[in-house]
Amino acid sequence: MEESKFIDKDKKYEKKGKSQLKGVWTRLKKDKLALIGLVILIILILMAIFANFIAPYEYDTQNLKNTFQSPSLKHLFGTDEFGRDIFSRIVYGSRISLQVGVIAVGIAVVIGGFLGAVAGYYSGKIDNVIMRIMDVLLSIPQMLLAISIVAALGNSLINLMVAVGVSSIPQYARIVRASVISIKNQEFVESARAIGSSDLRIIFKHVIPNCLAPVIVQATLGIGLAILTAAGLSFIGLGIKPPTPEWGAMLSGSRTYIRDYTYMTLFPGIAIVITIFAFNVLGDGLRDALDPKLKQ
């Protein structure tokens, strides 16, 4: 009998979780701008996955006879100073930008989320030590901190992701800490303590899952910021080394020719703007969809 009760409860929670997801999707569908952002992101993801089939040329193929070709049917976005097809480089560049954004935010969410959960759950001295470290990191501008890390570690894709991720840790630590403080004394947490669950089990199984809504929203917005930060680092020469096609590096390499060959800076810039726009509007839509006040 007791086993059947537990099974019934699991089914009940499963149905409740599905209904909540359905409610979030229903509210998200009402936000047309968020749906546009979602469609753009799906297109970007597909473009990154199938770049080998979409791009008409390899991103590093040089043809010095076709340098500075204006946009045409043969070269949709024109060619650069080495005769490389700009459209192909932007398509392949979507892989780099999305990879940097997702992995960097993943690093920040995992490390910052864990530190914030520990600080909020234990409070006292542990909270003070962790949050004072986060305050020190927050006192340094994110771009400046990322520049310092890349300058110390060297230029590479991995170092770029680490730099952007580490510079974003304090934001997620503070968000998770605030959520944990409001959750840790609720009845389901007290019940877990009463049956002898360890602190780590309570944090990972009961506390953190209930803090995911604000983290998901911040992560969605953070990916756009991470892509912009990575582009900024590449623009000043501290990002990914050429000839790897990264949108910020493409902007940096073409700024010398901006007056005579504007298209060389125009298309990478548009790619960055559209990507960040998509993440921002989707993040805003998710924030409204996950807001408990909007639940019926």
Residues in the chain, pLDDT under 50: 1-14, 16-17, 294-296
* pLDDT of res. 272: 92
Q: What is the pLDDT of residue 292?
A: 52
| Amino acid 3: pLDDT | 45
Q: What is the DSSP string of the chain?
A: -HHHHHHHHHHHHHHHHHHHHHHHHHHHHT-HHHHHHHHHHHHHHHHHHTHHHH-SS-TT---GGGTTPPS-SSSTT-B-TT--BHHHHHHHHHHHHHHHHHHHHHHHHHHHHHHHHHHHHH-HHHHHHHHHHHHHHHTS-HHHHHHHHHHHH-SSHHHHHHHHHHHHHHHHHHHHHHHHHHHTTSHHHHHHHHTT--HHHIIIIIIGGGGHHHHHHHHHHHHHHHHHHHHHHHHTT-SPPTTS--HHHHHHHHGGGTTT-THHHHHHHHHHHHHHHHHHHHHHHHHHHH-GGG--
